[in-house]
């Protein structure tokens, strides 16, 4: 008995010294206790929250899963364990916690309080996000890379089974980008690519996926298109937007773009086929005088044209923009 009493007396001291944030509320969600770790993690003062309704709704910037009513319903089945994103009280900076919410019951088995315990996992989440960005985003432009584009395409195809109309794949290449690198240096070329990517994002919808493949080559996935006319209008808008001057290091650069377009399912049902078709059509746009767009047609793959187009592409170093055998794009 003495040992039990001794442990009970030590409990408040343990709560005060633990590095985990702890909050205790009554069944109505009124906050009755928070420990120093909770105050430090939230960046608030005890008077800011004690005696006020918070409960599990003290979690900011998270999903509606944590409304008080829903939390109580879930707690009837046992404790809750979940990763959450929170914003600090004063400066609103975000951080992450592993949160456990456990009901406290009396001798009759009736719930009297809830205790929330949070462990800061911000560093782990940030490391995960960093690794994700390295794996799926282009370091220069911060656009999705080829891997993320392929993943988005896979999800888009899954949506096609639910009656989504058609998909458009746009293959973009800057015209004569090599001249910028040669005349102003690769640093200016990189800045131009960053500005180009930003303007490209601003000219399209949020639902569209824009990825950088390599060098000065970009690819776009257009979802939910109702007709080819819609894609035609988007291509014209892109050409107009991107042909406006770019100001880089006090120099004005006017660059144009050539675009090749392929359509799902008309031109193919696999992403590799559609990307190849769009690439061939893009090269045809180059040959047509640049600063234009071409839809892929079956004729482009007939009578050896497909092989000759790909051979011409192979004779051009798309990463550095250098000509190998033929005149550059």
Q: What is the largest CA-CA distance in the chain?
A: 95
The CB-side HSE value for 37 (13 A sphere, CA atoms) comes to 17
Pull the structure tokens for residue 255. 């660059």
Phi then psi for 244, rounded to 5 degrees? Answer: -70, 145
- Is the CB of residue 279 less than 8 Å from the CB of residue 258? no
| Token pair 């939390």 in the structure block, residue | 71
d(Cα 8, Cα 145) in Å, to the nearest integer? 57
Which of 49, 108, 106, 56 has its CA nearest to residue 80?
Answer: 56
Residues acting as catalytic residues: 216
d(Cα 201, Cα 142) in Å, to the nearest integer? 11
Those residues whose C-beta lies under 8 Å from the C-beta of residue 88, and which sit 6 or more positions away, are 41, 42, 43, 44, 94, 95
- Is the CB of residue 279 less than 8 Å from the CB of residue 171? yes
d(Cα 199, Cα 29) in Å, to the nearest integer? 47
Determine the distance from the C-alpha atom of residue 92 to the mean position of all C-alpha atoms in its chain, rounded to a whole number.
Answer: 21
H helices present in 176-255, as ranges: 177-184, 186-202, 228-242
Pull the structure tokens for residue 17. 């010294």
β partners of residue 104: 113
């Amino acid at each position: 008995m003495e040992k039990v009493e001794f442990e009970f007396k030590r409990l408040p001291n343990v709560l005060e010294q633990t590095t985990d944030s702890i909050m205790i509320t009554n069944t109505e969600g009124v906050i009755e206790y928070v420990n120093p770790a909770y105050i430090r993690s939230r960046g608030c003062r005890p008077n800011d929250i004690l005696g006020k309704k918070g409960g599990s709704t003290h979690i900011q910037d998270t999903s509606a899963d944590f409304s008080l009513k829903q939390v109580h319903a879930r707690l009837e089945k046992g404790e809750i364990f979940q990763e959450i994103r929170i914003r600090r009280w004063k400066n609103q900076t975000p951080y992450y916690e592993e949160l456990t919410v456990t009901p406290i019951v009396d001798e009759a088995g009736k719930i009297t309080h809830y205790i929330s315990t949070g462990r800061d996992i911000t560093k782990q989440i940030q490391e995960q996000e960093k690794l994700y960005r390295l794996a799926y985003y282009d370091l220069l432009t911060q656009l999705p890379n080829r891997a993320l584009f392929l993943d988005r395409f896979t999800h888009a195809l899954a949506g096609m089974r639910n009656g989504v109309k058609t998909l458009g794949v746009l293959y973009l290449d800057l015209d004569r980008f090599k001249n910028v690198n040669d005349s102003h240096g690769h640093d200016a070329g990189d800045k131009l690519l960053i500005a180009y990517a930003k303007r490209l994002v601003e000219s399209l919808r949020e639902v569209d996926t824009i990825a950088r493949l390599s060098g000065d080559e970009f690819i776009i996935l257009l979802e939910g298109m109702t007709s080819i006319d819609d894609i035609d209008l988007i291509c014209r808008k892109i050409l107009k937007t991107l042909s406006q001057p770019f100001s880089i290091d006090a120099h004005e650069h006017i660059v144009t773009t050539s675009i090749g377009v392929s359509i799902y399912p008309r031109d193919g049902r696999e992403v590799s086929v559609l990307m190849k078709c769009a690439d061939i059509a893009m090269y045809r746009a180059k040959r047509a005088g640049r600063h234009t767009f071409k839809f892929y047609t079956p004729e482009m793959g007939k009578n050896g044209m497909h092989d000759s187009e790909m051979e011409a592409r192979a004779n051009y170093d798309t990463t550095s923009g250098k000509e190998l055998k033929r005149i550059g794009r």
